[in-house]
C-alpha cells in the first residue's frame, strides 16, 4: 500500500510538473519578451497575461482543486485517483512556473541579448539560442522548487481522494487514527522532497559554466 502510494505520488508530481512546464515555460518566456524594452514588446498581451497569472495564483489550491472538478471530469472522465489529480495540479502549477521562468530569464544580462541582436538574430532565435540556454542553471533550480511545491499540493489532493501518500495519510492517519502510518507517510514525503531538491541543485551546479 505504501509502495503504491509512493509511486502514485511520484507519478502525479512528475507528470504534473512536466505538463505544467509545457504551459508555464512558454508563458514565462512570453511574459518577459512582451515587456516594453524587450525583443517582442506587446504591452496589451503582457498586461492580460499578468492578470491571468495573478488571478490563478491567488486562488488557494484546496479551493481550486474543488472548483475545477467539472473540468477534471471533462478531461479525465473521473474526479478521483491520481490521474484526475494531475488536472488541478497542472492548473495551479503552470502560472507559478511561469513566474519562476520569468524571474530566471530576467536575471540574464541585457548585454548578451543586445550582442545577439547586433548579429541579426531574430526574436525566436534569441529565445531558444540565448535566453533559455543562458538561463538554464537558474531554470533547473526553479524546476526543483516547482517539483517540490507540486509534491506538497499533490498530498493536499488526498482530501478529495486524489491518491498517493496524501490519501493514505488522510484515510489511515486522520480518519482511523493510525498514527504510525501518518508518521511513515510524513517521513517519506520529507525524503522525496530532499531527494528531488538535492538532485535539482546538483544538476544546476553541473550545468553552470559561470564558475
Smallest gap from Cβ 41 to other proteins, in A, equals 13
Nearer to other proteins, 26 or 123 (CB): 123
- Helix, strand or coil for residue 105? helix
Distance of CA 38 to CAs 98, 129, 133, 137, 144, Å? Answer: 17, 16, 17, 22, 27
10 binds other proteins (CB under 8 A): no
Residue 45 CB burial class (10 angstroms; 0-12, 13-18, ≥19): middle
How far apart CA 169 and CA 180 sit, in angstroms, is 10
Total residues contacting other proteins by CB under 8 A comes to 24
Least Cβ distance, residue 170 to other proteins (angstroms): 44
Question: Does 133 sit near other proteins (CB under 8 A)?
Answer: yes
122 is a contact residue toward other proteins (CB under 8 A): yes
DSSP state of 177: -
What contacts 72, CB < 8 A, 6 or more positions away?
A: 78, 79, 84, 87, 88
Does an H or E element contain 194, and which?
A: helix 179-207
208 binds other proteins (CB under 8 A): yes
Burial of residue 143, with CB atoms counted within 10 A of its CB: 0-12 exposed, 13-18 middle, 19 or more buried: buried
Cell 530576467 maps to which residue?
106
Q: Please, what is the minimum distance in Å from the beta carbon of residue 111 to other proteins?
A: 4
Q: Which of 75, 121, 182, 188 is in the footprint of other proteins by CB under 8 A?
A: 121
Whether the Cβ atoms of residue 82 and residue 13 lie closer than 8 Å to each other: no
Which listed residue (130, 151, 192, 204) binds other proteins by CB under 8 A? 130
Among residues 33 and 168, whose Cβ is nearest to other proteins? 33
* 89 to 118: interface string for other proteins, x by CB under 8 A: --------------------x-xx-xxxxx
Piece of 49-57, 123-131, 147-155, 171-179 that binds other proteins (CB under 8 A): 123-131
Q: Which stretch binds other proteins (CB under 8 A): 25-33, 48-56, 145-153, 203-211?
A: 203-211
Residues 6+ apart with CB under 8 A from 29: 101, 105, 127, 131, 132
Which residue, 58 or 118, is less far from other proteins as judged by CB? 118
State in angstroms the smallest separation of the CB of 39 from other proteins: 11
Give the interface with other proteins as residue ranges (CB under 8 A): 109, 111-112, 114-122, 125, 129-130, 133-134, 136-137, 207-211
Amino acid at each position: 500500500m505504501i509502495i503504491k502510494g509512493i509511486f502514485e505520488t511520484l507519478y502525479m508530481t512528475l507528470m504534473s510538473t512536466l505538463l505544467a512546464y509545457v504551459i508555464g515555460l512558454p508563458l514565462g518566456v512570453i511574459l518577459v519578451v512582451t515587456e516594453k524594452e524587450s525583443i517582442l514588446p506587446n504591452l496589451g498581451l503582457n498586461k492580460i497575461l499578468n492578470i491571468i497569472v495573478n488571478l490563478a495564483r491567488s486562488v488557494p489550491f484546496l479551493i481550486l482543486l474543488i472548483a475545477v472538478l467539472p473540468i477534471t471530469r471533462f478531461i479525465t472522465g473521473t474526479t478521483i485517483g491520481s490521474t484526475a489529480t494531475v488536472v488541478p495540479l497542472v492548473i495551479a502549477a503552470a502560472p507559478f512556473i511561469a513566474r519562476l521562468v520569468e524571474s530566471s530569464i530576467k536575471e540574464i544580462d541585457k548585454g548578451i541579448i543586445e550582442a545577439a541582436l547586433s548579429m541579426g538574430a531574430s526574436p525566436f532565435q534569441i529565445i531558444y539560442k540565448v535566453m533559455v540556454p543562458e538561463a538554464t542553471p537558474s531554470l533547473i533550480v526553479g524546476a526543483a522548487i516547482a517539483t517540490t511545491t507540486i509534491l506538497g499540493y499533490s498530498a493536499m489532493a488526498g482530501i478529495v481522494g486524489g491518491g498517493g501518500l496524501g490519501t493514505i495519510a488522510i484515510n489511515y492517519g486522520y480518519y482511523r487514527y493510525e498514527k504510525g502510518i501518518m508518521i511513515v507517510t510524513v517521513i517519506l514525503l520529507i525524503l522525496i522532497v530532499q531527494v528531488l531538491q538535492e538532485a535539482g541543485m546538483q544538476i544546476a551546479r553541473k550545468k553552470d559554466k559561470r564558475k
